[in-house]
Structure 1
Amino acid sequence: MRNPNQPAPSSTTASFAGLKRWVDAVLYSSAWLSAAAVGLMWATFLFWRADVPPRLAIMIFTATLFLYNIDSVLPYKYGQRLVLSERKLWMIHHRRELFLLALGSLAIAGVLFWLDGWQHLLGFLGHLTAISLLYSLPVIRIGGRWRALRDFPLLKVFLIAYVWAAVTVWIPAFYLNKPLLSPVVLVLFSRRFLFILALAFVFDIRDYTKDRLTGTRTFPGVFGVRATKVVALVALVLSNFLIPQGAAFQHVFMLSLPTLLAGSIIWFADETRPDYYFALLADGVLLAQFFAVYLAS
């Protein structure tokens, strides 16, 4: 019961609190990130002047939602010595909902995978799923300790970049019957890989203390935060200079805008930044790239 001597919250305060609850749910449930995955895949279709199939977009959205949410509810994570951020506390308080969301997303993605005849790509999609699941699931025993793929020194950012580039470039190439080893596909893949790699370093910076506590050796932990930023910016610049054949000038110009935005986010990244800096801005750059391609098209 509210203290009668305590002033009632204003409608503005209540509206802000309600808005924040919705924003937290979208960001911390990985819905925002899943939309970014669809946006990047859509950008690839736009480059080839093709429409993204709605059911494929839903399959990628729900598959991403499943993988990130099942990762966030893994039991072993709740026994780690962690610095609990607002994001992590939200996930702990909504662990059951995230698990149910993961199961529902898996069901939708599985049905679409089967109905739309993707079985011939089971091996390709299976290896991406395996990497995503084994990324955080400790199933390899080394030196008396169970380890996940992310525990191997300096590996985690490259795994993230590979899976995201494969999903958002190779899957459209498969759908449009374009050879994966053709020059234009290789350039698009390399460009996307380096762009995601640059942003993945930002999240290593965010997790600097947590990774040190859990013994995960990442670039910031081994080389320092400033050196990591330099490496990330180099990857970002290289991605911007990889121009696929047939790209129009306005396409290249518009893509330079999210690159500049990503560069500023990398440069000012710090683990003391609020969670929204990473969940809203750093992930939002991925959607900014989609909108840049959409406007250029």
Structure 2
Amino acid sequence: MKLLKQVYYFLIYTNLLIAGAAIAQSALTYLFFGAPFDYPIMMIEGTATLLLYNFSMLLSKPRNPQKSVYKRTRWIFKNEWLLWLNSGVGFIVLLYAAYHIHLYSLFFLIGIGMMSVAYSVPIIPYNGKWVGFRQLPGMKIFHIALVWTLSSVCLPVFEMHLDGVAVDLHLFQTLFVLKFIFLLICTLPFDIRDIQQDSYYHLKTIPNMIGANRAILLCYTLLVAHSSVVLLSAIQLKVQIGILTTNLLIGVVLKQVVFRNANRYHYAFLLDFALIAQFFIVYLFYKIQ
């Protein structure tokens, strides 16, 4: 159990967990369309996510990291060499994978990257000063969900189109909506957990604006809405079963673990594991004949 806990924290602190989630979510897109995995695209998803999250960490480095109240911050900058090491490896892999995709997909990827950077870099005028998207009232989770949907759905589909694969437009639209809602579900608990911290930094997130209890209710409502769209959509039955099974498990984890232990900072990261678990559960049902 101790080893499992250490691995859990290591994956969180090094951003390898969120990078794995990006790979899993892009791989899920290929299952939706019944298409073979495009490994260069999946490699790009993982490494680009790793680099962006590492960049965000470095950008927000406090003056005295070891005096931070957050264990994660203390660990990361105590082992900063590891942050630079996985960034270097990730950058090399990203360059290799980028060489194997279409040029237009590369331009599209750069556009997504610019949107991601705009999350924290002040490029938007608001109330007489320049801010990033995270500082705009209520925009934080929607910006994250949109960027992830563009990268894990639109980029793979765009590359499939450039490869000459016939893409079902209705299925693409359905997947876009499902992914956007699902990412809201997996992102909102983090803002509920950080409600006091965000208030301190004057960030007007959804939980700050409507209160923690209503935000929790919103999370369950989104889970029901997501399940309803799955049931009403024309996607393959085995994919439907896989997604609904994942939603059920997420509902249990939210109720029994995440929202019941809101003061446990790292419990919310189980939602990052949910992004990976969703792929493996769908894949398992997908392979069942």
TM class by shorter chain equals: 0.7 to 0.9
Q: Find the counterpart in structure 2 of residue 273 from structure 1.
A: 264
Q: Find the counterpart in structure 2 of residue 191 from structure 1.
A: 178
Structure 1 residues 85, 179: closer, same or farther in 2, change over 3 A? Answer: farther
Q: Any residues of structure 2 matched to 1:133-144 within 5 Å, and which?
A: 133-140=117-124, 142-143=126-127
Q: Any residues of structure 2 matched to 1:41-80 within 5 Å, and which?
A: 41-74=26-59, 76-79=60-63
Distance in 1, Cα, partners of 2:56 & 2:175: 28
3-state SS of 1:242 partner: helix
Deviates more, 1:174-183 or 1:185-194: 174-183
Larger radius of gyration: 1
Distance in 2, Cα, partners of 1:238 & 1:42: 23
AA in 2 matched with 1:248: Q
Q: Any residues of structure 2 matched to 1:101-140 within 5 Å, and which?
A: 101-113=86-98, 115-140=99-124
Structure 1 residues 180, 232: closer, same or farther in 2, change over 3 A? Answer: farther
3-state SS of 2:37 partner: coil
Q: Find the counterpart in structure 2 of residue 211 from structure 1.
A: 198
Structure 1 residues 22, 144: closer, same or farther in 2, change over 3 A? Answer: same
Distance in 2, Cα, partners of 1:220 & 1:254: 30
Query: Paired residue for 1:250, among 235, 238, 244?
Result: 238
Q: Find the counterpart in structure 2 of residue 286 from structure 1.
A: 275
Structure 1 residues 215, 93: closer, same or farther in 2, change over 3 A? Answer: same
Q: Find the counterpart in structure 1 of residue 209 from structure 2.
A: 222
Distance in 1, Cα, partners of 2:157 & 2:205: 32
TM-superposition CA deviations, 1:87-143 (whole Å, max 9, x none) = 232223223421342243123213321x11332124422221112112122344544
Please give the TM-score of this superposition, normalised by the length of structure 1: 0.84
3-state SS of 2:264 partner: coil
Distance in 2, Cα, partners of 1:190 & 1:80: 42
Contact 1:151-1:216 at 8 Å conserved across structures: yes
TM-superposition CA deviations, 1:19-40 (whole Å, max 9, x none) = 6544322221111111111111
Aligned-residue Cα RMSD (Å) equals 2.6
Distance in 1, Cα, partners of 2:207 & 2:4: 34
Shift of residue 64, structure 1, vs aligned partner: 1.1
Contact 2:51-2:90 at 8 Å conserved across structures: yes
Shift of residue 197, structure 1, vs aligned partner: 0.6
Shift of residue 251, structure 1, vs aligned partner: 2.2
Q: Find the counterpart in structure 1 of residue 156 from structure 2.
A: 172
The count of residues paired between Structure 1 and Structure 2 equals 278
Structure 1 residues 263, 212: closer, same or farther in 2, change over 3 A? Answer: same
Q: Find the counterpart in structure 2 of residue 92 from structure 1.
A: 77
Contact 1:70-1:98 at 8 Å conserved across structures: no
Distance in 1, Cα, partners of 2:117 & 2:22: 17
Please give the TM-score of this superposition, normalised by the length of structure 2: 0.86
What percentage of residue pairs aligned between the two structures are identical? 27
Structure 1 residues 83, 266: closer, same or farther in 2, change over 3 A? Answer: farther
Distance in 1, Cα, partners of 2:135 & 2:93: 31
Distance in 2, Cα, partners of 1:216 & 1:197: 18
AA in 1 matched with 2:271: A
